[in-house]
Chains A and B, each alone.
Chain A
Amino acid sequence: MDAAAQPLLRVRDLRVNYGPASVVKGVSFTLRHGETAAIVGESGSGKTQTVLAALKLLPRQAVTTGSVIFEDTELLALSRRRLDALLGRRIAMIFQEPMSALDPLFTVGAQIAAILRLKSGFSRRAATSRAKELLDLAGIAEPGRRIHAYPHELSGGQRQRVAIAMAIACNPDLLIADEPTTALDVTVAARILELLAKLKQSFGMAMIFISHDLGLVRRIADSVHVMREGEIVEAGSAAEVAANPRHDYTRMLLAAMPRARAHIRTDTSVLLRAQNIGVRFSLRGKFLSAAREIKAVDNVSLWLSQGRTLGIVGESGSGKSTLARALLKLVPASGMISFDGRDLTRLDRSAMRPLRRSMQLVFQDPYGSLSPAMRVGDIVTEGLRVHEPAISRKERHARAALALEEVFLDPGLRHRFPQELSGGQRQRVAIARAMILKPRLVVLDEPTSALDRAVQTGILALLEQLQEAHGLTYVFISHDLAVIRAMTDEIAVMKDGRIIEQGVAQEIVERPREPYTSALIAAALQTEGK
């Protein structure tokens, strides 16, 4: 039989159950040699479970039924030993969190060499030199030196490259990539995708690419399978699905952000002015060695007009979060900050307290910004306890209910604990907590980055609504240029603690001056597939 015609992998009616709960409900698809198939879905859709089930990597409590045929072999019926012989050699996998895929106690080279020795029978010396070659192929500079590095000495992108090197070590026929770029910065992710595409070509591998980002996979996949709640709701060639989505869910996943802000405000008075802000961290020197200093924020100046939204874009490590906290005087900083004409620079903690009502902060991680030991009602009214301590308990409960209603949450939720709420609900609680004091300035530090796409639009709409209703001024921080474009009037681009470009939002997006800004925009647009 013609090898090219016979499918590489055939999955038929795969089901995974944990007791009564059904996580994968009858998934079927086919993969040909050299094909790249993408499985797209949001968290909880079962996409990772499907793949782990096919390789029998799930914990003991999982019950897997169905058929997974790799070339001619039924994987689900194989003994442990025979399956192990296939894994690593014919089928390889890379995971989302590169740090957790690598053993922190062993050098990178040792880990790659172990695979070569134990799976392909390399001798120790041959394994080491081949490991060097593989690191080079994976795009790691100075492979001879890096071979002796430990995982924590490498950056996230480099670690993922190491994971890729491990995966291709034995020249597999099938590479499974589970959200390989989700934990990485946009620019780094783009390069990893390029690497994967290149390796796929030269090694002639088939690939299963799992992601939550339909726009992302559109450019690299041949076929797309959209999963929702354990089932495949739509499948087809990548071009087809993108151009003519049939299912509502697919359409929603594809929905792009609005292109620009609906309303333009005329110039109003300056609310916040910051000049020459600098934040320095010193890494405590180890005994007998000097302390190192890191400039997290380096000489940043900006101003905010009332009622407008300033967006701060940058990748992780650019200092944008630190800047946000410095503006609110939550971290010690040099430079001058004035709020509503009042100089904040020399105010101490108790002098700042009354002012804090007017400047609030909403954080990125809804799971970390609400104390798991407090009920929602108490969380939302904590500000009242600080600034209006005379209020009776009853009154506080009433205000809590009001605050929750304002963010479109059921006021009854105030008796619950945060763990009982979904991510989107928690973020609304965090917003309510900020709003209850009726601030004038709200800093939003990546408020939607940790949320599913479906929930994001709701939160962003809420934020817009609140801004309209209360005349709020926003500082909106994000790494996602698409979100920034939809929400902001002005944009400042940050890199390595400095603002490298600032201006009206439309201008920056359509006519960027700095090459870094262009790269950011290009990466964002790539996601949108324009």
Chain B
Amino acid sequence: MLRFFLSRVLTAVPALFIIIALAFFLMRLAPGGPFDSERALDPEIAKNLRRIYKLDRPLLEQFWLYLQSLAHGDLGPSLHWRDFSVNELFAKALPVSATLGAKAMLIAILAGTALGAAGAMSKSAIGPRLVDGAAIFGIVLPVFVVAPLLQLAFGLSLPALPVGGWNGGAWQNQVLPVITLALPQIAIVARLMQAALRDALAMPHIRTLRAFGMPGHHIYIHALRAAFAPVVSYLGLAAANVLTGSVVVETIFGIPGMGRYFVDGALGRDYTLVMGTVIVVAAAVLLFNLIVDLILAWLDPRVRYDARRR
């Protein structure tokens, strides 16, 4: 098991490196520089700025310098919000996005698996159809449609929930954004779970358990255990989807998270800020995928021993 873990970690590191390099050089390719979008600067000042931020050095040297500061955990200064370093900007924004994302994922997992399991275990034919139908709705309505609808429905009609803003993380402000983020994931997880559980219940070794007259709850435990694998596999992708969705949600609900920095930074050619975001997000995704792989290996002993299966 340890070997498996190490092997997965060691493949993640070069991946992260390549992503950093790719993003770095891609951005420098972009025409124009970070100071172009502001009001026309005196060329002398512009030159000085470039010198201060070391933008006049050769590309490779800049890359090397950047890697060095990365090694110290320093993401560099923001080129756009020049009074702040990227680390400072993130220190406030990252917890916000992380909280939203984590809660959305949690709700998605709990609600999704519960719904899916209920659909699979229901005796009538309507149950599964309902879940499938509701799931299609969830998948099909994009986040940027659901968000304003929810704002309309709950925020404006029911005065209880605020329509936007973060308000330091008050729970009322979190309700709508989290639900918006979670809905499509609930739908997908529910569908996956239902299908997986249906398949698991039809498997030969479940038939053996029935042939031995084993009690219902025992059979369901075995079936659920087998059904979790495809759901867990999806979680890695779910994290990426939540991340993507959070950009929209933060925009619509006016939440000061990473998403806003990313979009604004990109449009303003704030290299360091965008780089910082890329690194943080990529690292988070890779980490999450690693955790998912570990859970999968723990769930299914065949994965641990059979590297060939990859």
Contacts and interface: CB of A to CB of B under 8 A. Distances in A.
Interface of A: 55, 57, 83-89, 92-93, 95, 97, 100-106, 114-115, 118-119, 150, 152-153, 163, 166, 283-289
Contact of B214 (A88, A102, A106, A285): A88
Interface string B180-213: 0000000000000000000000011101101111
Interface string B24-68: 000000000000000000000000000000000000000000000
B170 interface: no
A16 to B, nearest CB: 16
A468 B262 CA distance: 78
Contact of A287 (B7, B205, B207, B299): B7
Contacts of A93: 208, 211-212
Interface string B215-252: 10010001001100000000000000000000000000
Nearest to B208: A101
A153 B207 contact: no
A184 to B, nearest CB: 17
Question: Which of B6, B7, B205, B212 has the most A CB atoms < 10 Å from its CB?
Answer: B212
A119 B307 contact: no
A86 B208 contact: no
A287 B10 CA distance: 9
Nearest to A55: B211
Contact of B212 (A92, A152, A287): A92
A187 B215 CA distance: 37
Nearest to A102: B205
Contact of B213 (A101, A119, A287): A119
B225 A105 contact: yes
A83 B211 contact: no
B208 A288 contact: no
Contact of A289 (B3, B203, B306): B3
Contacts of B218: 114, 118
Contacts of B81: none
Nearest to B7: A287
B73 interface: no
B213 A288 contact: no
Given A57-B207, A105-B300, A88 B10 contact: no
A87 B213 contact: yes
B211 A87 contact: yes
Interface of B: 3-4, 6-7, 10, 203-205, 207-208, 210-215, 218, 222, 225-226, 299-302, 305-308
A119 B299 CA distance: 26
Contacts of A95: 204, 208
A288 B6 contact: yes
Contacts of B210: 57, 87
A354 B215 CA distance: 63
Contacts of B299: 105
Contacts of B215: 84, 118
Given A92-B211, A103-B222, 6 more contacts: A55-B211, A87-B212, A95-B208, A104-B205, A106-B225, A287-B3
B220 to A, nearest CB: 13
B199 to A, nearest CB: 13
Nearest to B202: A59
14 contacts: A55-B211, A84-B215, A88-B214, A93-B211, A100-B204, A101-B208, A104-B301, A105-B225, A118-B215, A150-B302, A152-B302, A153-B305, A287-B6, A288-B3
Contacts of B213: 83-89, 119
Which 9 A/B pairs are nearest by Cβ-Cβ distance? A87-B213, A287-B7, A100-B204, A88-B212, A84-B213, A286-B307, A88-B213, A103-B205, A101-B208
A364 to B, nearest CB: 23
Nearest to A93: B211
A105 B214 contact: no
A262 B134 CA distance: 70
B212 A166 contact: yes
Given A103-B222, A284-B308, A287-B307, A84 B7 contact: no
Contacts of B308: 283-284
Nearest to B300: A105
Contacts of A92: 211-212
Contacts of A283: 308
Given A104-B300, A105-B299, A118 B214 contact: yes
A105 B208 contact: no
A84 B210 CA distance: 8
Residue among A84, A89, A119, A286 with max Cβ neighbours from chain B (10 Å) = A286
Given A92-B212, A118-B214, A97 B302 contact: no
A284 B309 CA distance: 10
A119 B225 CA distance: 21
A127 to B, nearest CB: 14
Nearest to A83: B213
B251 to A, nearest CB: 42
A101 B226 contact: no
Contacts of A285: 307
Nearest to B210: A57
B196 to A, nearest CB: 13
Contacts of B207: 57
Nearest to B223: A103
Contacts of A103: 205, 222, 226
A354 B3 CA distance: 48
B7 A288 contact: yes
Contacts of A287: 3, 6-7, 10, 307
Contacts of B7: 286-288
Contacts of A286: 3-4, 7, 307
A284 B302 contact: no
A152 B300 CA distance: 11
B301 A105 contact: yes
B302 A100 contact: no
B85 to A, nearest CB: 38
B214 A114 contact: yes
A502 to B, nearest CB: 34
Nearest to A86: B213
A83 B212 CA distance: 10
A100 B212 CA distance: 15
Contacts of A86: 213
A289 B3 CA distance: 9
Nearest to B206: A103
B124 to A, nearest CB: 12
A97 B203 CA distance: 12
A9 to B, nearest CB: 16
Contacts of B225: 105-106
Contacts of A284: 307-308
